[in-house]
Amino acid sequence: MFNIETKQSIKRLIARTMKSFFNNKGKKLSVILNYHSIHPKHKFATKPDVFLQQMEYISSNFKMISLTEFYAIRTAQKILSDRIAIVTFDDGYEDNYEYAFPILKKLGIPATIFLTTGFINDEIDIAKRDRTYIGLKALKWKQILQMRDEGITFGSHTRTHPILTDISLRDAESNIVHSKNILEDRLNESIKMFAYPLGHRKTFNPSIIKLLKKHEFELACSTLWGCDNSDTDIYALHRIRIDACDTINDFKEKISGKWEFIRWVQRLK
């Protein structure tokens, strides 16, 4: 079994080998970044100083917009400008407030956090259950409301973070709707954005998308890899996952489309 560093080295080698196939010359980039945790000590979290470096670089080289702006452009059938970027976080870890929010605020970068409401309400501990981010705490509603008041937007990531295609459609609907209702009650606003738990190809399907439309969600983010969302299904938006082991060069290559081989690897699964 390869460790994280070895896997990353293999990915870098593949990216260098296949760069001529995925150089995106002449192709407009519309990048949605996918983060989870920003923490100075956790093994699987992006370190705050690294996150700052990433945000400084991307905000200097891309136009930073919100998911709400992205949706408005897409639905107005306007052509997306080149090199736009959107920042998103999944789950709702407290370090999003402690470490990411001050950096985003300082640089004037909008972001969306997809909340697992059962985690926020202490019904479940997904950090402990799913183990990757074990030990991390959930955001508090007071912190969420402060961020909302200062420009951070929020979306649903279900109530208990199930793989939606592994449960009945009825249970999936209940999980989605309960999360939406909690968020709308707490934030006093309509919740229109959704992110699928895990988010790869087998975790959502046309029936799940139909549920989202039924309950008036306007868009949904997957974890399907891709640097161009100009004509992607609005209910299966591509994102670029940013990992703790990413160097600044890895980050630059990821957002410029040089790791697009991951999209083809995902299709084989």
Which CATH number applies to 29-268? Answer: 3.20.20.370
- Which pLDDT band, with edges at 50, 70 and 90, does 246 fall under? very high
pLDDT in tens, 128-180: 888 899 999 999 999 999 999 999 999 999 999 999 999 999 999 999 999 99
Rounded Cα distance, 139 and 127, in Å: 12
Q: Which two tokens stand for residue 269?
A: 């699964």
- Which pLDDT band, with edges at 50, 70 and 90, does 263 fall under? confident
Q: Which two tokens stand for residue 7?
A: 């896997």
Rounded Cα distance, 257 and 79, in Å: 19
Indicate the DSSP class of residue 139: P
pLDDT in tens, 4-58: 666 666 667 665 666 656 555 556 899 999 999 999 999 999 999 999 999 999 9
Q: What is the dihedral of CA 225, 228, 234, 239, to 10 degrees?
A: 30
Instruction: State the average pLDDT for the chain.
Output: 92
Domain ranges for the chain, please list them: 29-268
